Amino acid sequence: MQKTKSNSNEYGNKVVGIIIPIYNVEKYLRECLESILHQTYKNLEILLINDGSTDSSLQIAKEYAQKDSRITIIDKENGGQANARNAGIEFFSGELVAITKESTKDADSLHSYQIIGENLYQIHTIYSLKSSLEIPIIDYLQFVDSDDYIELDCVEQCVKRMRGVDVLWFDFQRKYEGNLNYDSAKKPTPLTKYGFCEECKITPAALFTQSKLVERKWYAFTWQGMLDFRFLQAISLKFANVPLEEDHHFWLLLLAQSQCIFIFPQKLYFYRIHPHSMTNYGGKTGLKNIPKQLQCYLKDFCGNPMLLHKYCRAGSAATMLGDIFRQMESGKIEPQTCAILKQNILNRLCMLAMNLESFQADPMGFLPLLAKIKPYAKEQKIGAYALLHQSLEYQLGLATLSSFKSISNFLKSFGVIYRVLQRYKKLKNIENANSLQDYWDFKESEHLKKHLSFRIGRKLTKLCFD
């Protein structure tokens, strides 16, 4: 495949793959693509993945692909961002095999390709200006969300610093739109919270140590960096099929298995936050914030979006913890890094995962994952958070609140409350409040007492049992 030369002979032969998942972003897509196509670094392979958009996003993507041979479009069924990103990783890895579907008549029109054999990502068509679909061999990989955009020298600045580096982490700037009125300057970015002010190379152990010092618990910055693609292939990492926080799962495993991380505290990415973002800063978990593919599970949680969200979070934590345990056992994570992870990240994941037993239903089948997690929880003395969630006060209050969400829930509430009381009888030997102080997660469990569910439940138990 013919490659465009960069401005610099020193690093210009490196090919950078950029994966951009697209879903109903017709309002923002042009600005995103303009920022990519006009990068000062030209040696790019741009992969646009239309994830079942119902607006004009695909047509806009085709418009740009007709003008630039560096663009390839994958048009697929909606499967979520993680699914789209994995399709992109497999495309660049040469795992997706496609053939010509139809010939083109005009020089400016796009060639169409279809998948041969098993089509796990439900890809309809692959579009390219090229008459034969060649899988590019890339050196580095970057993710960009289709409603965001990047500085024009973003790729060049990163490539300059990628020699001998597995992962580069740069900073970003928030852009609020619509009725979201926040002062971006007052909300520090994760990189700022870590206290990194200068460029430096660090090890995973050093990063996780700093994470503990600044009490940083999550690593969700998929679009905040560049990574060595051969390193990614070597560790066979993809985004997990979990309902929430798949980006945290990906980056935690990526960083933990790396050898060298480059910290680049420059704001190269513009992160747009608008009312329709996958993540906004309203702080509420309502029906509109539940992804479409998860809404079918609401019936299992009395139509309560907050309860479904908590369940998904617990299940995602259990999945993540299980994957990390496997990598630790296989020796892919350095012992020093493992020890530091246990002190902060793993214990918190365990705390969330153990909460799975407090839910009345397990529609996604996460409970079997606890078989391997419970011994770790016992060893680290983790469980206060889950025990308080399972308490009569919390469960009774939760059932009462859910009953007010609909007439159907109200009619079901009597049965739910009965089951809560029956379950409470079985858990009467649950550890008392004083012993909870000995648990690692005691402080976290104390926060639950401020929840409305617990406060209402406590008043009800006093009325019923005092």
- Top mean pLDDT of 129-138, 252-261, 352-361, 405-414 is at 252-261
> Would you state the pLDDT for residue 427?
46
**Whether residue 368 is found in the same domain as residue 392:** no
Helical residues (DSSP H) of 66-200, grouped into ranges: 81-93, 154-159, 190-193
Domain boundary among 217, 247, 273: 273
- Has residue 281 been placed in a domain? no
- Has residue 162 been placed in a domain? yes
DSSP reduced 3-state for 423: helix
**Whether residue 444 is found in the same domain as residue 303:** no
> Would you state the pLDDT for residue 455?
84
- In this structure, what are the phi and psi dihedrals at residue 453, rounded to the nearest 5 degrees? -55, -45
- In this structure, what are the phi and psi dihedrals at residue 304, rounded to the nearest 5 degrees? -95, 105
- Top mean pLDDT of 325-334, 338-347, 385-394, 413-422 is at 325-334
- Has residue 123 been placed in a domain? yes
- Has residue 7 been placed in a domain? no
Averaged pLDDT, 152-169 = 98
Q: Is the pLDDT of residue 7 over 50?
A: no
User: Which domain covers residue 323, as residue numbers?
Assistant: 289-382
One DSSP character per residue, 169-205 reads EEEEEEEE-TT----GGGS--HHHHTT--S-EEE-HH
Domain boundary among 382, 401, 426: 382
**Whether residue 396 is found in the same domain as residue 305:** no
Of 52-61, 315-324, 437-446, least confident by mean pLDDT is 437-446
Q: What is the pLDDT of residues 56-106, one digit of tens each?
A: 999 999 999 999 999 999 999 999 999 999 999 999 999 987 776 665 555
**Whether residue 305 is found in the same domain as residue 257:** no
Residues in a beta bridge with 140 = 16, 228
| CB 297, CB 308: distance < 8 Å | yes
| CB 99, CB 111: distance < 8 Å | no
pLDDT above 70 as % of the chain: 81
Averaged pLDDT, 142-168 = 97
**Cα–Cα distance measured from residue 252 to residue 37, given in angstroms and rounded to the nearest whole number:** 30
**Whether residue 337 is found in the same domain as residue 447:** no
**Whether residue 296 is found in the same domain as residue 424:** no
Averaged pLDDT, 372-401 = 84
Handedness of CA 438, 440, 444, 445 (dihedral sign): negative
DSSP reduced 3-state for 456: helix
**Whether residue 75 is found in the same domain as residue 224:** yes
> Would you state the pLDDT for residue 458?
79
**Cα–Cα distance measured from residue 463 to residue 54, given in angstroms and rounded to the nearest whole number:** 52
Residue type, 195: G
The helix (run of H) or strand (run of E) holding residue 123 is: strand 123-128
**Whether residue 48 is found in the same domain as residue 142:** yes
Of 4-18, 19-33, 40-54, 75-89, least confident by mean pLDDT is 4-18
**Whether residue 301 is found in the same domain as residue 315:** yes
Of 30-44, 92-106, 187-201, least confident by mean pLDDT is 92-106
Averaged pLDDT, 377-384 = 92
- Has residue 452 been placed in a domain? yes
Helices vs. strands in the chain: H and E counts, helices first: 17, 12
| CB 196, CB 263: distance < 8 Å | yes
**Whether residue 232 is found in the same domain as residue 104:** yes
| Reported confidence tier of residue 6, pLDDT bands at 50, 70, 90 | very low
**Whether residue 82 is found in the same domain as residue 27:** yes
Please give the mean pLDDT across all residues of the chain.
Answer: 84
- Top mean pLDDT of 115-119, 160-164, 401-405 is at 160-164
Q: Which of 374, 384, 361 is nearest to 442 (CA)?
A: 384
**Whether residue 374 is found in the same domain as residue 396:** no
Q: Where are the beta strands (DSSP E) in 312-384?
A: none
Q: Which 3-state string (H, E, C) describes the chain?
A: CCCCCCCCCCCCCCCEEEEEEECCCCCCHHHHHHHHHCCCCCCEEEEEEEECCCCCHHHHHHHHHCCCCCEEEEEECCCCHHHHHHHHHHHHHCCCCEEEEECCCCCCCCEEEEECCCCCCCEEEEEECCCCCCCCCCCEEEECCCCCEECCCHHHHHHCCCCCCCEEEEEEEEEECCCCCCCHHHCCCHHHHCCCCCCEEECHHHHHHHHHHCCCCCCCCCCCEEEEHHHHHHCCCCCCCCCCCHHHHHHHHHHHHCCCEEEEEEEEEEEEECCCCCCCCCCCCCHHHCCHHHHHHHHHHCCCHHHHHHHHHHHHHHHHHHHHHHHHHCCCCCHHHHHHHHHCHHHHHHHHHHHHHHCCCCCCCCHHHHHHHHHHHHHHCCCHHHHHHCCHHHHHHHHHHHHCCCHHHHHHHHHHHHHHHHHHHHCCCCCCCCHHHHCCCHHHHHHHCCCHHHHHHHHHHHHHHC
- Has residue 284 been placed in a domain? no
CATH code for position 103: 3.90.550.10
How many domains in the chain?
3
Domain boundary among 331, 362, 382: 382
- Has residue 350 been placed in a domain? yes
- Token digits for 137? 């061999």
| CB 315, CB 349: distance < 8 Å | no
- Has residue 2 been placed in a domain? no
